[in-house]
Structure 1
Amino acid sequence: MTTTTETTRSAVHRAILPIPITTARALIIIGGALTAASAFLSWTWTSAFPGDLTVDGYPGGLQWLTFAAGVLTAVFGLAGHGIRGLRRLNPAGSSSAELLLAVGGLAVTWFTLGAISVELGGLVNLTVGGWIAGIAALVPVAGALGLPIEGEPGSATSRGSALWRHIKNHPSIKPTRPLPAYAEILIIAAVLAVGLGLFTYGIDTGYGELFVGFLITVVFGAWALYSAGLTDQLSAITARHRSVTAIGAFAAAAAFPFTQSSDQYTSIGVNVLIFATVALGLNIVVGLAGLLDLGYVAFLGVGAYTAALVSGAATSSLHIVFPWWAAALTGAVASMVFGLLIGAPTLRLRGDYLAIVTLGFGEIFRIAVSNFDGVTGPNVTGGPNGIPNIPDISVFGIDLGKSHSLGGFTLGRFSNYFLLMLLFTAIVVLVFTRASDSRIGRAWIAIREDETAALAMGINGFRFKLLAFALGAGLAGLAGMVQAHMAFSVVPDPYQFAGSVPPNSAFLLAAVVLGGMGTVSGPLVGAALLYLIPAKLQFLNDYQLLAFGVALILLMRFRPEGLIASRRRQLEFHEAEQPILQTTEEAGLTKAKA
C-alpha cells in the first residue's frame, strides 16, 4: 500500500514538473536571489500602506521578510547543490526544506501584495516592482517542486549511501566531522541571539500586517529547519551542554529590556513571563503527574489576592505591610495550602471526574472573591472592585515603579518587573527540573502512564498526586504576587476558566499541550505564543479567536506532541510509524545478505 502510494505520487510529481534536478536547483538558487532582490524595489505608489513600500533601493516593513525568505531559500539551494561548507545546513538531505522556504517566501510576498490591494483599494496600487516580486517568488517554488520526493530514485535520502561511497572514494571530499565543544557553545550562543532577535522583532511589530507576515515567515522557516534535521542536531548539542544552554537562555531573556527604548512593549514581555511561569507550574500537575486541572488559574488568583492583602494597599482589610520577599512567600504558601485543601478530598478521583471538580473549584474561587465585599459576605477582597492601589515593590531600597539608568540604558517600570519576574521564572525552572529528575518525578511519570501499575509497584499514588497539586499551586502563587503589584490592582474577572484575555485556565492548559507536556522549554514557548499572538491580532476584532482556533487545530493536527516534545511523547504519537521503519531496515539487511 505504501509503495503504491509513493509510486503514484512520484509519477504525478514528474508529470507536473518534468525538469532535471540540476535545473531545479538552479531555479531555487536564482529564484531565491531574485526574491530577495525584489525587496529593494518599490511595491506601491503611496506611503499610506504601513511600512512605506514606495522606496527603491532599500526594503521597508514587510519587504524585509521577503528579503529574509529569499536569502534563506538561495542558501539552502546552495547547500542542496553540495557547496562546501553549507552541507551542514541540511544534514537530512531533505528537499522539503527548500520547498518550505520557497513557499514561505511566496506566502509572505503575496500576502503583502494582497494586503496592499485590499487596504488601498485594488491592484492598481501595485507598482512594477510589486508585480516583479510576485513573479520572482514563484520561481523557487517551481524549482523546489521539480526536486524528487524523499524516498524516490534520485532523491537526497535515496542517494545517501551512494554519496557516502563517493566521499570515501574521493579523499578531496570529506564528510562533516563532529564539532569541538567550543564550536558547539558558540552555536548555542548564536541560536539564543537569533531567538532574542526574533522575539524582539515580533513583539516590536507596530501593525497587524507586519506581525502576520512575521508569523508566516517564522512558521515556514521553523518547519524547514525541522525538515532539514537542524532542530534534532541542535537538541543533541543543547543536551550535551545543558548548563551553558540554561545560563545563556536566561542571559538572553535578561537582555530583552535593554533592547527596548520604552516600556510600550516591555509590558507584553512581563505578562508573557507571568503566563509562561504559571504554565510551567501547571506542567507539573498535567505534564508530569497526568492530572487534568481545569481550575489552575485560581491558584494564581490566591497568590495575587494574598500578596495584595499583605503589601500595604490602602483598601486592604488586613492593614499590614510585608517586605516584597515575605509577600511572595506568603502568596506561595497560601496557594499551596489551598492546593492541599482542594486536593485532599478530590485527588482520589481520576480522569474526567477530577477535571470537573477542579473546574468547579475555579468557579467557586471567582464567585467567592466577588461576594467578599462587605455586603453579601465579609469585607475581605473588595468584591467586584477588587483591591486597587497596590504599591510598587521596593527591592533593597530600589523602587521598581520608577525608571532607573544602568550602563547607559534606561529601565522603566515594566522593565524592572520583567527582571524580577525573570528571577521567579528561574526559580520555577530550577524546581521543575530538580523535581522531574528526582525519585518524586519518576513516581509522577509512573502515575501518569498507568496509575494502577504504579500502585502495584508500591507507589503511594494519593500522596504523590497531592504533592504535585500543592507544588504546582505554590509556583502559581509566586507569579500572582508579581502580577498584583505590576497591575496595581486585583479583580476577580481574569481568574476564570475561559476568556478573551489570558491568563485563564483554558489558555494555560493550551500552552502546556501546545508547547509540549513534561518539558521545561515547551510550556514557556507555548505560553509566549498564546499570549503574544492574541495581543498582536487585535486588528482582527471579532475574528481574532476564530483565527487563533484554526491555528491551534492545524498545529495539533500536524504536531500533536507539541512544539518542543519529549522523546517519550514523540514515540507515543508516532508509534504507528515505527514498524514501517523497522520493516524497511529489515528489508535492507535481507537484501544485503542476499
Structure 2
Amino acid sequence: MSTITRRVIPMPPAAAKALVAGGGLAAAASTFIHWTWTSEFPGDLTVDGYPGGLQVLTLVAGLLTTLFALPLYGVKGTRWLSPAGPEAAALLMATATLATTWYTLIAISAELGGVANLEPGGYVAGLASLLPLIGALGLPHRSAAIGFPRLGGVVSQIRYGLTALNRLVGPRPDVPAVKPLNRWVEVLIIIGAAAVGLTVFTYGITTEYGELFSGFLILTALGAWTLVRSGLAGRLTAITARHRGTSTAAAFAAAAAFPFTQSDDHFATVGVNILIFATVALGLNVVVGLAGLLDLGYVAFLGVGAYAAALVSGSSSSPVGLHFPFWAAALTGMAAALVFGVVIGAPTLRLRGDYLAIVTLGFGEIFRIAVNSLDGISGPKVTNGPNGIRNIPDLDILGFNFGIEHTFGSFTLGRFANYFLLMLLFTGIVVVVFSRANDSRIGRAWVAIREDETAAQAMGINGFKLKLLAFALGASLAGLAGTVMAHVSYSVVPDPYQFAASVPPNSAFLVAAVVLGGMGTISGPLVGATLLYLIPEKLVFLKNYQLLFFGIALVLLMRLRPEGLIAGRRQQLEFHEDDESQEPAEPGEPVLTKAGA
C-alpha cells in the first residue's frame, strides 16, 4: 500500500496557508496583552506591551510558525527552511505554538484557582494559537489510514495514535541533494548554529522556576522535531560533515563561552556537573555503544578515579597523606580505574548478554560495600567508610587557583566556572579518544562484535581481547572524569556510586543517557546526559517520581524513535529500513507492507 496525500481538515489551500501564517502572527501579538491580573504567577504576565515569562515562549513559537509558513507561499529564498517539504514543518510548529500557549493557560488556572484568573489576553492567546494548527491540518500531508479508529483496547488505541501521528507528519525525510554553498557561507552557517545552540542551552539552564522550564522543554522538543521533519537538520548535518574540524571547533568555542554568559555561580555549578555526567556517559558509550557490552556497574569506575585522586591530592582526611600535582593525580585516577577495569573484565568478559550485565551490576555493589567497609573498623582505613574523604583542596595549576574568582575584562569567572572550563578540556580529550577509536580498525571490530560476536570470531577477530580493551578504555575515561569530580565537590563519599542513586551520575542513568541519546555516536550521549541531569535539577517535584517519568519517556521514545535522539546512519537504517513500506493499521488489524501479509 503506497502513501497517499490527504487533508485532515478539508479547506481551500489558500485559507489553510493564511491561517498558518496569520495565526502564528496573532499568537505572537497576543503576548503583548496581559494574560492574568495578578503577579503571583511566576513571570508576571500582567504587563501590557512587554512579554514576560512563558509569554516569551509563545512569542518565539508564533514567529517561528510564521517563518516556516513562508515556504508554503513559495517566497523566494525560503525554500531552504523546509528542504523536505513545508507541510510537516508547519504542522509541528503550529502544534508547538498551541502546546506552549495552552500549557501556560492551564498552569495559570491550576496555580491561581481557576480560569477566572485569566484576563482577556489569555483567551485571545488561546484562540489565536488554535488558528495555525487548524490551518496546518488543512494542508495536504503524506499519510495513510488517518481517521477515527475502531474501538479497541487501550494499548491498541495508543499504538494506533502514535503510529498515525508519526505518519501524519511524513516519513523519515529524504533531503534532496543540492550543490554545496560557498565555503565561507557554510562556515558562517556552522557558527550561527553553534550560537543558536549556546543561546538555547543558556536559556534552559538559567530558567528560574519549573513552569518556565516545562514550557521550554515543550517548545524545544517540538522545535527539534520540526527541524528533523523539515529536512533542515539533515541539511545542516551535511554541511557539518563537510567541515568537521570547523564544526568541532565551533561547538567547543560555544561551550567555552557558556561561563562568560553567567553572573550566578549556581548555574555554572549545574553546567560543570552536566559536563562530568556527559563525559562519563561518553566513556560508557565505548563499552555499550561500540562494543555492545551492557555494563550496569560502570559508575564504580568513576568512583575509583575519584577516590584515587582524592587520596593523593593533599586532603587533610586522606589516610595516605600524599599531595601530587594535578596532572599526576589525574593519571593516578585513570590508572587505578584502568587496573580495576582489567581485573574485573578479565574473568567476566567471556560472558554475554544478561549474564555479563548481572556480573557488572554485582561489581558496582561490591565497590560501594567495599568503600563503606574500608573505614578502619570493618577493614583497613583507606576510604574512611561512609564519611568519605573530605576537605579536598582546590586545584592550583601554574599559579591559577581554581577556587577563587578571576576577572577577565568585564567578565568574572567564579569557582565552578573555572572547573567548567577544565572539565570541558577533559571532555574534548574524551571526544578525541572516542572518535579516533570509532574510526579505527579496532572500532570497526568492536562494532562487528556488537552486531554478531560469533560471526566476528569466525572472521578472525579476537573477541575477548577486544572486549577487554573496550572495558579498560571505558574505565580509564570514567576515572579521568572522577578526578575532576573529586575536586569540584570537595569530597568523595560512597553514596552516589551505586546502580540507582537519588541523583546522577549513577549506573542506571548513565546507561539511559547512552541509549536515549543514541548509541555509538558522540553527540547522542552528551545530549542524553544533559537532559537526564537537567530535567530533575529544574523540575524539583520530579525527584520523588523521576523513575516513573523516566519510564514513561523511555516507552514513548522507544516507540517513536528507537534509535535514540541522535543516531548514526547505521542505527537509522536498522530501525527504519521498512518505514517507507509500512502503513499504520487500525487497532486489531495486521500491519500491511509491500510484501503483503
Letter in 2 for 1:132: V
2:21 to 13, 22, 29: 29
The 3-state SS of whatever aligns with 1:150 is: strand
1:247 to 246, 249, 253: 249
Letter in 1 for 2:426: F
Contact 1:93 1:156 in 2 (8 A): no
1:322 aligns with 2:324: yes
Contact 2:109 2:116 in 1 (8 A): yes
Equivalent residues in 2 for 1:209-288 (5 A)?
209-288=211-290
Match in the other structure for 1:123 = 115
The 3-state SS of whatever aligns with 2:265 is: coil
Match in the other structure for 1:519 = 521
Match in the other structure for 1:91 = 83
**Pair 261,157 (structure 1): closer, same or farther in 2 beyond 3 Å:** closer
2:423 to 417, 421, 424: 421
Match in the other structure for 1:145 = 137
Greater shift after overlay, 328-337 or 177-186?
177-186
**Pair 580,135 (structure 1): closer, same or farther in 2 beyond 3 Å:** closer
Distance 1:346 1:540 in 2: 37
Distance 1:356 1:538 in 2: 32
Distance 1:177 1:448 in 2: 37
Equivalent residues in 2 for 1:369-518 (5 A)?
369-518=371-520
Match in the other structure for 1:559 = 561
Distance 1:208 1:479 in 2: 29
**Pair 352,151 (structure 1): closer, same or farther in 2 beyond 3 Å:** closer
Distance 1:281 1:177 in 2: 37
1:184 to 175, 183, 186: 186
Contact 1:284 1:432 in 2 (8 A): yes
Letter in 2 for 1:429: V
The 3-state SS of whatever aligns with 1:305 is: helix
**Pair 466,139 (structure 1): closer, same or farther in 2 beyond 3 Å:** same
Contact 2:194 2:251 in 1 (8 A): yes
Match in the other structure for 1:67 = 59
Letter in 1 for 2:482: G
Moved over 4 A (4+): 155-158, 578-581
Shift of 1:543: 3.6
**Pair 498,21 (structure 1): closer, same or farther in 2 beyond 3 Å:** same
Shift of 1:506: 0.5
Match in the other structure for 2:68 = 76
Contact 1:304 1:480 in 2 (8 A): yes
Match in the other structure for 1:332 = 334
Shift of 1:18: 1.9
Distance 1:140 1:419 in 2: 43
The 3-state SS of whatever aligns with 2:83 is: coil
Contact 2:282 2:514 in 1 (8 A): yes
TM-score (norm 1): 0.91
Shift of 1:551: 2.1
1:196 to 198, 203, 220: 198
Letter in 1 for 2:387: N
Shift of 1:177: 5.2
Shift of 1:252: 0.5
The 3-state SS of whatever aligns with 1:495 is: coil
Contact 2:32 2:49 in 1 (8 A): yes
Distance 1:176 1:459 in 2: 40
Match in the other structure for 1:351 = 353
Contact 1:44 1:130 in 2 (8 A): yes
Distance 1:502 1:133 in 2: 39
Letter in 2 for 1:221: G
Distance 2:208 2:534 in 1: 13
Q: For each residue in 1:263-289, what CA deviation from the matched residue of structure 2 results, as whole angstroms up to 9, or x when unmatched? A: 011100000000000000000001111
Letter in 2 for 1:528: T
The 3-state SS of whatever aligns with 2:266 is: coil
Match in the other structure for 2:570 = 568
Shift of 1:541: 5.2
Match in the other structure for 1:592 = none
Contact 2:91 2:169 in 1 (8 A): no
Shift of 1:552: 2.5
Distance 1:202 1:547 in 2: 19
**Pair 541,482 (structure 1): closer, same or farther in 2 beyond 3 Å:** closer
Shift of 1:549: 2.7
Distance 1:528 1:256 in 2: 14
Distance 1:267 1:537 in 2: 17
Match in the other structure for 2:538 = 536
Distance 1:184 1:572 in 2: 30
Match in the other structure for 1:168 = none
Choose between structure 1 and 2: higher helix proportion. Answer: 1
**Pair 457,579 (structure 1): closer, same or farther in 2 beyond 3 Å:** farther
Letter in 2 for 1:297: V
Contact 1:443 1:459 in 2 (8 A): yes
Q: C-alpha root-mean-square deviation of aligned residues, in Å?
A: 2.1
Shift of 1:67: 0.3
Q: Which has the higher contact order (CA 8 A, sep 6+)?
A: 2
Contact 1:294 1:356 in 2 (8 A): yes
Distance 2:178 2:375 in 1: 69
Q: For each residue in 1:101-137, what CA deviation from the matched residue of structure 2 results, as whole angstroms up to 9, or x when unmatched? A: 1111111101101111111111111111111000000
Distance 1:256 1:330 in 2: 30
Distance 1:426 1:312 in 2: 27
Shift of 1:548: 3.2
Letter in 2 for 1:265: F
Distance 2:126 2:252 in 1: 41
1:44 aligns with 2:57: no
Distance 2:225 2:277 in 1: 25
Contact 1:291 1:351 in 2 (8 A): yes
Letter in 1 for 2:94: A
Letter in 2 for 1:342: I
Shift of 1:196: 0.4
Shift of 1:578: 5.8
Shift of 1:148: 1.1
Contact 1:301 1:480 in 2 (8 A): yes
Distance 1:72 1:354 in 2: 48
Shift of 1:499: 2.3
Letter in 2 for 1:406: F
The 3-state SS of whatever aligns with 1:410 is: strand
Match in the other structure for 2:310 = 308
Letter in 1 for 2:551: G
Shift of 1:443: 1.1
Distance 1:135 1:579 in 2: 38
Letter in 1 for 2:243: H
Shift of 1:407: 2.7
Shift of 1:575: 2.2
Contact 2:141 2:170 in 1 (8 A): no
Shift of 1:94: 4.0
Match in the other structure for 1:133 = 125
What is the percentage of aligned positions where both structures have the same residue? Answer: 67
Distance 2:396 2:207 in 1: 32
Match in the other structure for 2:155 = none
Contact 2:88 2:169 in 1 (8 A): no
Distance 2:550 2:140 in 1: 34
